[in-house]
Amino acid sequence: MIYLAWGTTYYVTGYSMQALRMPPALYGGVRLLLAGAILLAYQACRGKSLRLSLADFFRLIPISVCLFLMGNLLINLGQRNVKSGVAAILIATTPLWMALYSAFWPRAERLHWRGWVGLVVGFAGIVLTLAPQLQDGFNLVDDYPALLVLGSAASWALGSLLSRHLDVQLPHLTSAAFQMILGGIAQTTLGSAIGEWPTFVARFDHRAAFAFIYLLIIGSLMGFVAFNWLLGHVSAAKVGTYAYVNPVVAVFIGWLMNETPVYLSLFAGIAVILGGVYLVRSDRPPLQVVETEPE
């Protein structure tokens, strides 16, 4: 279920950004606000405390900025030009970024030789994935959308690391709900400040509504709750296989919908990046990445 849920969200996000040209900040911000509110209601129904201390509020701010402001906004901006399959492959580098940060993070576990080899291999896979765009040389103006997607992965990794080291005294789902709400407020405020509301209202037709609801329910809620349920019933290593399967599902969906062109270097990029991720993960206990994707 997680494989299908998160694997398909890349195509739906790309469709919303490219075909429908929805404003990225408001489209992501409003969804995050709704998802966070629904998760809080779910926690309240389960009898969980929703009390947020001032200390936890300030701990959640940098996490929310990295995960749900930068992480979500950058993927929306990037997918205005980057095909869904390519975006999913680039997002699959998140464990690599997290391992790189951990190598220099105070009191974090250091990489051994296998992990460093994995980082080199994984980042080489990025070059393979973007080979068609790089054939004529790198051009910041033309190729920046791919950098935005990579920035989303890097920001998500930093937020995941912060969530591990900042001692937030909240149940996990409650913490995630507040993170979504804070990120949603930030994105909605940004979208309002740059005048996205007229475009949002004008383009929010039945197609945009369907995509919005799909991303809200399948991506943000069902996939997230299912992931947390699995964490409590199967090993983290098995649950973590989503990182290997998601890009494959996303490429297949993009190809099936005639949105993502399939070429040899794309498959090579998938294989090399996932090979690098495997080396990093096998270098030490699996890295715990926050249990949502930046779509």
pTM of the model: 0.87
End-to-end CA distance of the chain, in Å? 17
Tell me the C-alpha distance between 122 and 268, whole Å.
Answer: 11
Cβ neighbours of 270 (radius 10 Å): 22
**Domain limits, the chain:** 2-282
Q: What is the pLDDT of residue 241?
A: 63
What is the model's pLDDT at position 6? 79
| Tens digits of residue pLDDT in 192-242 | 999 999 999 999 999 999 999 999 998 888 866 766 666 556 655 555 566
pLDDT value of residue 287 = 47
Residue 35 has pLDDT above 90, yes or no: yes
Is the separation of the CB atoms in 176 and 291 below 8 Å?
Answer: yes
- Which pLDDT belongs to residue 20? 96
* Inter-residue contact 58 to 205 (CB < 8 Å): no
Phi-psi map region of 155: left, alpha, beta (phi>0 left; psi -120 to 50 alpha): alpha
pLDDT at 23: 98
If you average pLDDT over every residue of the chain, what do you get? Answer: 86
Helix, strand, or coil (residue 286) = coil
Number of residues assigned to the chain: 295
Structure confidence at residue 244 as a pLDDT band (50, 70, 90): confident
Answer with the residue of higher pLDDT: 105 or 74.
74
> Residue 113 in contact with residue 132, Cβ under 8 Å?
no
Q: Is the pLDDT of residue 44 over 50?
A: yes
